[in-house]
Structure 1
Amino acid sequence: MKMKKRNILLVLLMTVSFVVHAHGDKQKDKGMLKGLDTPAAKVVLAFHEALETSNKELARAQLADDVTIYEGGRVERSADEYAHHHMLSDMKYLAAMKSETLEHQVTVLGNTAISASRSHTTGSYKGK
Structure 2
Amino acid sequence: MSRTSLALVLSLAVLSATPVFAQDHAHGHAQAAGSVAAEAADAAAAVDAFHVALKAGDTAVALALMAPDVMIFEEGGAERSRDEYASHHLGSDAAFAAASEATVTRRSGWADGDIAWITTEGRTTGQFNGRAVDRLTTETMVLKRHADGWRIHHIHWSSRAPG
TM above 0.5? yes
SS in 2 for 1:57: helix
Q: TM-score, structure 2 length as denominator?
A: 0.57
Q: Which has the higher contact order (CA 8 A, sep 6+)?
A: 1
Alignment partner of 1:22 is 2:25: no
Q: Give the equivalent residue in structure 2 for 1:121.
A: 124
Picking from 49, 54, 58, the partner of 2:52 is: 49
Give the residue type in structure 2 aligned to 1:92. Answer: A
Deviations 1:77-114 (A, max 9, x none): 22222111111111111111111111222232443332
> Post-superposition shift, 1:39?
1.7
Mark the CA change 1:68 to 1:117 in structure 2 (over 3 Å): closer, same or farther: same
Q: CA RMSD in A?
A: 2.7
Letter of the 2:99 partner, please give it: A
Q: Is the 8 A contact 1:96 1:123 kept in 2?
A: yes
**What is the TM-score normalised by the length of structure 1?**
0.70
Count of residues paired in the alignment: 111
Q: Are 1:77 and 2:92 counterparts?
A: no
Contact kept in structure 1, 2:25 and 2:96, CA below 8 Å = no
Q: Which runs of 5+ in 2 are unaligned?
A: 4-20, 132-163
Whichever structure has more helix as a proportion of its residues is 1
Cα distance change of structure 1 residues 111 and 34 upon mapping to structure 2, 3 Å threshold: same
Which residue does the alignment assign to 1:67? 70
Q: Could you say what secondary structure the match of 2:130 adopts?
A: coil
Q: What CA deviation, in whole Å up to 9, does each residue of 1:28-79 have, x standing for no partner? A: x2xx242475221111110110001000111111111122223333322222
Alpha carbons 1:104, 1:116 under 8 Å: kept? yes
Counterparts of 1:50 and 1:34 in 2: how far apart (Å)?
21
Structure (1/2) with the larger strand percentage: 2
- Residue 103 of structure 1 corresponds to which residue in structure 2? 106
Q: Contact 2:22–2:104 at 8 Å: present in 1 too?
A: no
- Quote the sequence identity (%): 32
